[in-house]
Structure formats: C-alpha cells, structure tokens
Structure 1
Amino acid sequence: MKTTSKFIKTGLLLLAVVFMTSCSNDDGDDPIIVSTDPDIVDLAIATEDLSILVSALQRADLVAALQADGPFTVFAPTNAAFEAFLQANNFASLEDVPVDVLTQVLLNHVVEGEFVSSSLSTTYVSSLSTAGPAGANLSLYIDTASGVTINGISDVTAADVDAANGVVHIVDAVIGLPNIVDHAVANSGLTELVGALTDGGNTTFTDLLSDDTTEFTVFAPVNDAFTAFTNPNGNDLANILSNHVIVGTAAFSTALSNSYVTTAGTNADGDNLSLYINTDSGVTLNGVSDVAIADIVATNGVIHAVTAVIDVPTVVTFAVADPNFTTLVSALTELTPATDFAGILSRTEGGNGDMIDPDFTVFAPTNAAFDALTEIPEESVLTQVLLHHVVAGANVRSGDLTDGIMAGTLEGDDITINLPGTGDNIADVTDGSGATGIGIVAVDVQAGNGVIHVLNQVMIPDTNN
C-alpha cells in the first residue's frame, strides 16, 4: 500500500512540473503555477481510478469543502466501488442518485483529523455525514484486525496518500449510510447479539431495526455479556432482547439521566416493561449492565454497547436499582430477616396454592417517605407495614385505577385510592389506619411480575385488628 501511495503522489508532482514549465497564458506572460503541494481534491483529480469520486464531489458541491484547511481523513472509493454501489442500489448512473443522498454518502467517507494507517485502531469514529437522528454525525466502525475495514464492507487497498490538507486511503467499496442492523453486523464484538437476533432464521428484529421511519435506542450486549448470561428465570429470549430496545426515540448519552424509560419488552399481559437508567457513575441499566461504548450513531437511531444482558426485571430489580428506594430495600431485607420479601417479590410463577402469588402491585415509599417516620418500627410491626404496601394477584396499572377504588393488601387491610390527586399527587391514598394525604407521585414502573407505583409517605395498617 505504501508503494501505491508514493506512486500516486509522485505522478501528481510530475504533472505539476509539466504544467509549471509548459503552461502560459495567451500573451506569453508568466506561466500558470500549479501547486506542488496538492490537496485532497487535487489528488483525486490526478488519480484516474477516482474519476467517479471526482464527479460525485462535483455533483454534490463538495469540492470546496474538501479543499478547506482540514485536516481530513478521506476513504476514497475507486471507480469499481462506485459502479458496484450504483448497481446494487438500482441507479443507472451517478446522475440518478438524489443529490441529498449522494452528499451524505460522500460525507460518510470523511473524518475530521488526519489519521494515517499506523494511527488507526479498532474503534468508532464520527464521519462528517449528518444523516443520523436530529442531524447527528454517523459513526464509522474501523476494524484493524486484518488490514483496515470500514463498517464491515469496505477495505483499504492503498493507504496513506498524503495531501496538503489531510490523508487519503483508497477503499474498494462505497460506505453506505448504516442503520442499526448494519452497525451490529459490522462489529465483531456483537456477533452473539446478531446470532440471537437472527436465531432460527428469525427476521423480526432485523426487519424492525432496519426501519428508517422510526428511531430506536438499542442497548447492545457485547459477546462476553451473552457468554456470561445463564437466563436464570427461563425467560423468553425474544422478550429479553426486546427489553434492550427503546422504540420511538434516539437517546444519546448526553440526554440520559436517572429515570425510567419504556422498552419493547412486555409482561404476560402485553404491558411494556420499564428500564431504570442510572447516570450517577457512567450509565447503568437496571443496576446490572453498564454502558461500555456510547453513541454509536446510525441513520435510524443510536446503539450503546453494554456489559451485561438485561433480563426481564422483577419488582425487586427496580427496588434494588433505584437509589430512591435504598431504605425500602433495607427494610425488606436486613430489617426483616424472618420474611423472605426479596424471594417472594421476585417470583414470576404462582405458588401452588400459596396465597402470595404474582402479579404484584407494589406501592413503594421513597427514602424521604421513610425519613418522615419518627422511627422505623421493630421487625414484627415493620413486616406488617411492608405487607400493607403489596397487592398480590393483579398487575394494576394507573389506567386501571378509578376514583374510590379499594384494594386488599397482603397485610389484610384495604387501601383506598382517589383520583385525581391533590397538589402534586397523581392520586391520593387512604391507608388501613385511615390516614389520608398519602400521595402516589409516580406510576407504572412495569416489571415482568408486577408494577410499582411510588409513594411520598409510608402507609400504616390498622394496628388494632
């Protein structure tokens, strides 16, 4: 590749010398000086096998852009590469390619900065194409495991053609505009994910995630994550994979915050599952999976590579993952050792006649709600208090609530819910002791085995019965 690069550069310099010594204007004045330090466009013009690229740059009005100071790194497709691209996309000629599409395709071959072959490594870089969601720059996947391959489809055949404003690498295929599936297939670290998505010839996910009319956010487990995952609850793999996909938005890392989002995964009733994102230290999902590589930008969304498979959550998953529930978790575990609350609330199947069966509707008090208590009760009373926050056998979402609805808790007392709530409350709750003014402040944190609604006060049962 070095020999080819030197040949191209030497050929251009010889052309420059010829022009300098033989070209003059009509009046016989000073010769027209051609630069002996060619820019990227000069190099392309001087290379016969890049003539279609030159025509494409002219048609897209990008000549001046690539004559700017830069520096730029350009992956320059050969004429054969362009001919294959046109044929594969049913274009009879370059003139048939819509200018806006051609512009973005060409810009997807350009990276800011000068990266010679020795400085390239297996990683993602941003191209100048703004075909990503909301004008975001598309990602290019550079794989240096064997030569240099871009997005899994285009190989560098001649590297390090030096220009005054950057460097050119000749490539053997046009780098199209990648969607989410294209990026997943290109990355050798995501082969297990691709295998799971297409297992048994399944095209459900590849069809969905190739849709350019909808934006997606995909949390993509790396190969090691799949190797480590044992599916301990025997959940359906398709539903687990769906729980890694947010439909309808491209959530870039800069926009993520401590919050719940809704995934394409569902519970048995078809309710979409929630996913808890924690950004206190990096980005962690449901308390179990960290984002290792953020913001892989595709035309139809964004991928974040993650370190663990995100299983279908239980209500316990969210209690443990959400730092707003640390006191509740302590109450359910170390403060009530005689009752296996974690085991009960993690159950996804019925208990063979046991009265404590999923689905669960959990009214979860925040840390502030517990802080408002004079003291946390001793174990026997605390156990009853905690049971008073759980309704078993029903997944009662906010849309199922009606004004004045009463629900029996595992403790035995009913609670009453009134809609709409007062002040900032979504709904007001009267507990078993008759206390009012308790507020539901967040709703529908959906797990596979139930749903959580968040309370701003701890509910107390009737201690006299």
Structure 2
Amino acid sequence: MKKLNLLKTAFVAIFTVVAFSCSDDDSSSQNNTIAGIASRNPNLSSLVAALERAELTSTLNGSGSFTVFAPTNAAFTAFLNANGFANLEAVPVPVLKQILLNHVVSGSVQSSQLQTGYIKTLATYGGTTSGNTLSMYVNTASGVRLNGVSSVSTPNIIASNGVVHVVDAVIGLPTVVTFATADPTFNILEAALTREGDNITDFVTVLSGSGPFTVFAPTDGAFGNLLTELGAPSLAAIPESTLDPVLKYHVASGNVLSSALTPNGNTTVTTLQGQTFTITLPGTGGNIANVTDAANRASGIVAVDVQAANGVIHVLNKVILPGS
C-alpha cells in the first residue's frame, strides 16, 4: 500500500511538470509582436487586413521597436465612408501604406511618456523613402488626442516589439491646415484663416489642397503683439482687405525645409502675396533664424520643419507684414 501511494505521488508530480512545460511552450510560441496581438483582437481585424494589403505585416512582426496607434474596425468604416471608398480594397495601396505608416512611431512610447507637442511618424512627404517624415501633433491636455482627430481609447498594450494604443479614428495624412487647427499655439491663426464673413480668400480650401506650401505660422503671442502694435482691440477689428494680404504674405510655394535655407547668410522668400522677405541664418536672441519683412520689421523663426503631407510649417514669434 505504501509503494502504491509512492507511485501515485510520483505520477502526479511527473504529470504536473509535463503539463506546466506544455503550457509554458504554448505561451512562448504565441506571437506577441504588434502584428500578432492585433491578429488576435477581433476589434482590430480591419487594421490586420489593411496591414496585409499594404504589405506591412512583416514590419510589425519584426524585431524593431514601434509605437502603433491602432484604429478600431469602426474607425476604419468611418474613414472609408468619409472618403468615398467602398471597402479597403478600393483604397490605392500606396495611399493605404502611407496612412498606416502615419499611425506608427519609432520606439516604444507608453501613454505616460507622450507629451503635448510634435512627434514624427513613419509616413513620408511624397510617400518616398527619401521624403521628410510627417509630423503628428499630440495633445495630452485631456487624455491623448492626435492631430485633433483621433483619441486613444485603450493605451499601453505591450508587445514584444513595442506598444499598441487603440484609437477611435483613423489618422489621415495631415495638411498644414490640420496642424493650424490641432495645435492651440495657433488658435488666432486658425481664427484668421477661418473667420466668418466675406473672406477674400478661402484659405482653408487653398491650404488643404495639394500644394505644396511653406507656411510661416505666427503664434498666438505673435498675433497679440500685432494687435497691440496696430492698436486693434481684436482680430475682428482688422479689415479683411488688410488681413488677406497679410496672411498670403506668410505662405510660399514649395516644401522648403530649414536645411534648404542658406547657411550663414540670407535667403529671400517670395510669398503668395507677391512681395518677399528675408531669412537670415544663424538667428540671434534665441531665434533659430531671423526674419526681416518688407516693412523692415524684425521677427524670428522659433521652430522649424513641422511636416504635413502638402507642405511644411515654420513657426514665427512675430507677424510679418508686407510693404505698403
């Protein structure tokens, strides 16, 4: 009887070890990459199908480190409907690939590490391997909102090669208007571009077009200083006939990056308004570059190369004015 009990104990011990070993093997063989996790989430089946169509599954199955903002099935349905696509197969593969890459950031960034400001996605200007990577505006004032159009609903799904944040909307390729709208630094600029009334130029339509455009974007502080300079109580007090050429004076044709400016010298910029202004490198007084406008007023570029799909934004600390 004692021998039988010993045999039973030995059998139970062996069975437990084997069962644990099998369970451990199952766990270790499970694909815990970003692509693998997405494939097991029924709410991300549209994303999985899109990745396969764009031939990006192997990338997110790889050994690199990525942060993926993963749109839900409902988000993809809304995106397709809004853009007139019958289904995913109707989206041209090059377009779909860039949209998906616009949801991917290099490195593993958890939600608590995200800060308000611009980050770079893997999408590129012009969709080429040599194009400047597109920017994304992250607003963490209330949760995490991306480019003003998509919010993180489920953060920090940890993968073996990065992290997944589920989002409630597809993040389309941004225009320069996208950033003017999403970034509260440009609230007054947005108001100027979209103000109600008999606007001479429909700036939203123009700057949402294919471009490309280089926009020199004044901050709210810059506009506040202009109102003081002009003795105007508000933006509404500036006549449209005055405001329209001023706004055009902040836009140039082309996608002119800071690297294309003349180093240790002057670059003359021809604007959509028709007049020019001068950029001088290097800047002084904390400016990346100094700017002299046609009215011989001095201002500065304080941030550069916010890349949209249809152009690039450089940030000004003072509104520039055309000559009389």
* Band of TM-score, shorter chain: 0.7 to 0.9
- How big is each residue's C-alpha offset from its partner over 1:156-199, in whole Å with a ceiling of 9 and x where there is no partner? xxxxxxxxxxxxxxxxx335471211111111110000000002
Matched with 1:193 is 47
Out of 74, 80, 85, which is 1:224 matched to?
74
Matched with 2:216 is 363
Gapped runs of 5+ residues in structure 1? 1-14, 20-44, 53-76, 86-172, 349-357
Tell me the percent identity. 46
Report the CA distance between 1:48 and its aligned residue.
4.4
TM-score by length of 1: 0.60
Out of 390, 396, 399, which is 2:259 matched to?
399
Three-state SS of the structure 2 residue aligned to 1:372 is helix
Q: Structure 1 residues 47 and 186 mapped into 2: Cα distance closer, same or farther (>3 Å)?
A: farther
Counterpart AA for 1:51: V
Mapped pair 1:51 → 2:51: no
Counterpart AA for 2:45: T
Report the CA distance between 1:400 and its aligned residue.
0.8
CA distance in 2, matches of 1:327, 1:223: 36
CA distance in 1, matches of 2:33, 2:189: 42
Q: Structure 1 residues 457 and 253 mapped into 2: Cα distance closer, same or farther (>3 Å)?
A: same
CA distance in 1, matches of 2:257, 2:286: 19
Report the CA distance between 1:431 and its aligned residue.
1.0
Three-state SS of the structure 2 residue aligned to 1:227 is helix
Matched with 1:445 is 306
Three-state SS of the structure 2 residue aligned to 1:290 is strand
Counterpart AA for 2:216: F
Task: Give me the CA root mean square deviation.
Answer: 2.2
Decide whether the 8 Å contact of 1:276 with 1:322 is kept in 2: yes
Q: Structure 1 residues 255 and 80 mapped into 2: Cα distance closer, same or farther (>3 Å)?
A: closer
Map residues 178-217 of structure 1 onto 2, 5 A cutoff.
178-199=32-53, 203=55, 205-212=56-63, 214-217=64-67
Decide whether the 8 Å contact of 1:335 with 1:379 is kept in 2: no
Counterpart AA for 2:79: F
Counterpart AA for 2:78: A
Report the CA distance between 1:49 and its aligned residue.
3.2
Mapped pair 1:273 → 2:134: yes
Counterpart AA for 2:192: A
Report the CA distance between 1:311 and its aligned residue.
0.5
CA distance in 2, matches of 1:383, 1:174: 63
Map residues 40-439 of structure 1 onto 2, 5 A cutoff.
46=12, 48-52=14-18, 78-81=20-23, 85=25, 173-175=26-28, 176=30, 178-199=32-53, 203=55, 205-212=56-63, 214-230=64-80, 232=83, 236-247=95-106, 249-268=107-126, 270-334=131-195, 337-348=199-210, 358-373=211-226, 374=228, 375=232, 376=235, 377-392=238-253, 394-402=254-262, 403-436=265-298, 438-439=299-300
CA distance in 2, matches of 1:426, 1:252: 31
Report the CA distance between 1:78 and its aligned residue.
4.6
Aligned residues: 294
Report the CA distance between 1:378 and its aligned residue.
1.5
CA distance in 2, matches of 1:335, 1:398: 33
TM-score by length of 2: 0.85
Q: Structure 1 residues 278 and 399 mapped into 2: Cα distance closer, same or farther (>3 Å)?
A: same
- How big is each residue's C-alpha offset from its partner over 1:256-314, in whole Å with a ceiling of 9 and x where there is no partner? 11110111111216221111000111110000000000011112111100000000110
Report the CA distance between 1:211 and its aligned residue.
2.2
Runs of at least 4 residues off by over 6 Å = none
CA distance in 1, matches of 2:179, 2:104: 18
Larger RCO: 1 or 2 (CA < 8 Å, sep 6+): 2
Gapped runs of 5+ residues in structure 2? 85-90
Out of 305, 314, 317, which is 1:456 matched to?
317
Decide whether the 8 Å contact of 1:440 with 1:456 is kept in 2: yes
Q: Structure 1 residues 459 and 335 mapped into 2: Cα distance closer, same or farther (>3 Å)?
A: farther
Larger of the two Rg values belongs to structure: 1
Decide whether the 8 Å contact of 1:239 with 1:266 is kept in 2: yes
Decide whether the 8 Å contact of 1:440 with 1:453 is kept in 2: yes
Decide whether the 8 Å contact of 2:31 with 2:37 is kept in 1: no
